[in-house]
Amino acid sequence: MTKRHATWDNRSTVSKWAHVFERSGLAMAGASCGLFVAALMIRANIDMGAGIAALAMTVYGGLGFYLGVDLPPPLHKPDPAIAEQHAAKTDTVELLSAAGTFFAALTAVLSVYLIVVDERLWIGIVLLIAALWLIGTSMQVAAGVIARLRRNRPSN
């Protein structure tokens, strides 16, 4: 049995359910980010294909926050002797997750603000906001997938 399964198995039932509720809440927050950006695009009269694109953005936003915000820890802790030599090394997965979460949340806040104050922007700016949301959410998805693949990779 791997350490990951043992850790999950050692949790209480209440703790497991709390984790599921937390992840569901994160997914709903991400879905809201996608929905807010989609609403801004619809308001700017950008053709969204009868709402299908808005639904896809909502689902993709939820997937991004579900996978990219609550990353699993590494399976093995690094050797302290090796860690001293590489103390300043940046974890790409953490950077992807952090930047992706920031961009997705920033674009959601901008979108809601622009909708609430009834600001009309040049369509290129709206598309730039949507592209930044897509990049941020894709960074979250990539971080989550990489972290899980790295965690499940057999150690040498």
Report pLDDT digits (tens) over 53-102. 999 999 999 999 888 877 776 655 555 655 556 555 677 888 898 899 99
What is the residue type of 138? S
Averaged confidence pLDDT in the chain: 83
Domain ranges of the chain: 26-69+90-156
- Residues 6 or more apart in contact with residue 127 via CB below 8 angstroms: 41, 46
d(CA 39, CA 49): 13
**Stronger pLDDT, 119 or 36, i.e. the higher one:** 36
Residue 37 has pLDDT above 50, yes or no: yes
What is the residue type of 114? L
